[in-house]
């Protein structure tokens, strides 16, 4: 009986962890005058699959509201706090006493970021003070007997990379490397993540060709081959993250974990801003989450998903800059979704977007994803390459496989597109392929070639 009970406990534990998505987080910025109460935000987050929240400060109302939710909380010391933290260990101890100890462990604080994009301020005094500030903060954490439970890091802009294309050539700006060497040694010694802000949106802004948009939105595309190692990349996110990995490796820190502290796509912007639409924002964030859930990882870091914090939970209506800066929110102040990216636990019904999006049919009791009639071989080949590049098992359509015959692009693409859809969250956009696919209730299996699926 004892053995059976132990087995049952282990089984329940496995079910708990298999359903958890600890790699999905969100940024909670507060440069706004219309945000809902912290208690309402806590309830909203619990209704989603978001398991971590990053704050730019340490707002006690928010930290307290998240108590006993299990949601991981990242809190931050501002750039302006760095000089005092660096010069006085007591300042760091007081910071911990004020912002951590009153709330922990009921509020699950997991990481403290010391500064935000400090290197790219190019302020030599601030840069030189960053490592001492982080060391004092770590010592204060250790002094509170929270070492190993709460990590200490800082957040970087992608501009710390001087080279990122191709990903295998990723390297840091030479002038930042002396400071980075000390920071990375600290992070290696303390097991904290290298936090960085990759934004494929900004890459698209500087290269607004249609093929670049598809590459940035995780949509079917021809891919881009890394000339350094021959690896074909199918999306910009993986390329940017692997460029960071290469940069870390080039400095001897390949084992330092990468954390995506910010990434997102604006749903609106000024008239001169390219790519800002509900359709694109929904595609980027929805496909990003599907990619993370697949656990495929990146070509240089396969088989795991990096912790990723989407920017942002709400719009920040007081933020300066172009219109897009005020249009990253996944939710509105009234707690309704700006658009649906499949993170709600209770409903998969998309909210009405501000910009019309072509609706896709939803399956009822059965469903397979197949190409639409009249799609060109070139489009099908792009979809085939994309689907098989996402970590699904395409061996059945390879020579000798059960679905190799008929040996046509159309047949192979149909199998791969359906397998990709069945392996995903089965949201309508997972069977879109740049509007070349549709859902059907008719099973496309034939002979010994069995198409997975049928129930949703």
Task: Kindly list the catalytic residues.
Answer: 117, 262
Q: How many whole angstroms separate alpha carbon 270 and alpha carbon 365?
A: 42
What b/e sequence results for 411-435 when a residue is b if at least 16 CB atoms lie within 10 Å of its CB, and e otherwise?
Answer: bbbbbbbbbbbbbbbbbbbbbbbbe
Entry field: residues in the chain: 456
Residue with tokens 């507060």: 30
Q: What are the residues whose beta carbons fall under 8 Å from the beta carbon of 349, sequence distance 6 or more?
A: 340
Q: How many whole angstroms separate alpha carbon 452 and alpha carbon 245?
A: 35
Is the peptide bond preceding residue 266 cis, with omega within 30 degrees of 0?
no
Here the tokens at position 414 are: 């149909």
Q: How many whole angstroms separate alpha carbon 246 and alpha carbon 114?
A: 24
Degrees, nearest 5: CA angle 105-107-112: 90
- The secondary structure element, H or E, covering residue 92 is helix 89-99
Q: How many whole angstroms separate alpha carbon 350 and alpha carbon 338?
A: 9
| 343 and 289 Cβ atoms separated by less than 8 Å | yes
Q: What angle separates helix 377-388 from helix 409-423, to the nearest 10 degrees?
A: 40
Secondary-structure percent of the chain, ordered helix, strand, coil, rounded to 5 = 40, 15, 45
DSSP H helices, 325-451, are: 377-388, 409-423
Here the tokens at position 178 are: 């002396």
Degrees, nearest 5: CA angle 208-213-216: 120
Q: How many whole angstroms separate alpha carbon 64 and alpha carbon 143?
A: 23
Q: How many whole angstroms separate alpha carbon 157 and alpha carbon 166?
A: 18
Here the tokens at position 210 are: 């249609």
| 251 and 177 Cβ atoms separated by less than 8 Å | yes
């Amino acid at each position: 009986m004892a053995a059976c009970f132990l087995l049952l406990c282990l089984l329940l534990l496995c079910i708990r962890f298999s359903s958890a998505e600890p790699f999905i987080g969100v940024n909670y910025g507060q440069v706004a005058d219309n945000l809902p109460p912290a208690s309402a935000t806590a309830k909203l987050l619990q209704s989603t699959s978001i398991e971590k929240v990053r704050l730019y400060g340490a707002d006690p109302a928010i930290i307290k509201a998240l108590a006993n939710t299990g949601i991981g909380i990242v809190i931050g010391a501002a750039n302006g706090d760095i000089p005092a933290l660096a010069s006085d260990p007591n300042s760091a101890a007081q910071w911990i006493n004020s912002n951590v100890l009153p709330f922990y462990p009921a509020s699950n604080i997991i990481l403290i970021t010391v500064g935000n994009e400090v290197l790219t301020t190019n302020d030599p005094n601030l840069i030189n003070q960053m490592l001492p500030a982080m060391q004092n903060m770590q010592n204060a954490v250790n002094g509170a007997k929270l070492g190993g439970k709460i990590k200490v890091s800082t957040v970087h802009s992608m501009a710390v990379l001087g080279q990122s294309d191709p990903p295998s050539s990723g390297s840091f700006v030479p002038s930042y490397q002396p400071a980075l060497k000390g920071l990375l040694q600290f992070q290696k010694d303390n097991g904290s993540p290298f936090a960085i802000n990759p934004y494929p949106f900004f890459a698209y802004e500087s290269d607004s060709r249609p093929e670049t948009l598809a590459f940035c939105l995780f949509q079917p595309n021809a891919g881009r081959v890394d000339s350094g190692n021959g690896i074909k990349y199918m999306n910009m996110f993986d390329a940017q993250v692997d460029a960071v990995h290469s940069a870390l490796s080039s400095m001897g820190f390949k084992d330092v974990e990468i954390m995506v502290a910010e990434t997102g796509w604006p749903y609106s912007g000024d008239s001169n801003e390219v790519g800002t639409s509900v359709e694109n924002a929904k595609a980027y964030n929805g496909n990003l989450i599907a990619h993370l859930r697949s656990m495929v990882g990146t070509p240089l870091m396969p088989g795991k998903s990096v912790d990723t914090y989407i920017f942002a939970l709400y719009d920040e209506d007081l933020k300066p800059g172009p219109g897009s800066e005020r249009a990253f929110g996944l939710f509105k102040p009234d707690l309704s979704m700006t658009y649906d990216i499949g993170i709600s636990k209770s409903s998969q019904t998309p909210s009405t977007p501000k910009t019309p999006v072509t609706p896709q049919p939803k399956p009822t009791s059965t469903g397979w994803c197949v190409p639409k009639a009249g799609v060109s071989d070139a489009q099908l080949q792009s979809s085939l390459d994309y689907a098989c590049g996402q970590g699904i098992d395409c061996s059945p359509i390879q020579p000798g496989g059960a679905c190799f015959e008929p040996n046509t692009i159309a047949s192979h693409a149909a199998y791969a597109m359906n397998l990709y859809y069945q392996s995903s969250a089965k949201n309508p956009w997972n069977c879109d392929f740049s509007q070349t696919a549709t859902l059907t209730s008719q099973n496309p299996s034939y002979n010994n070639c069995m198409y997975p699926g049928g129930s949703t």
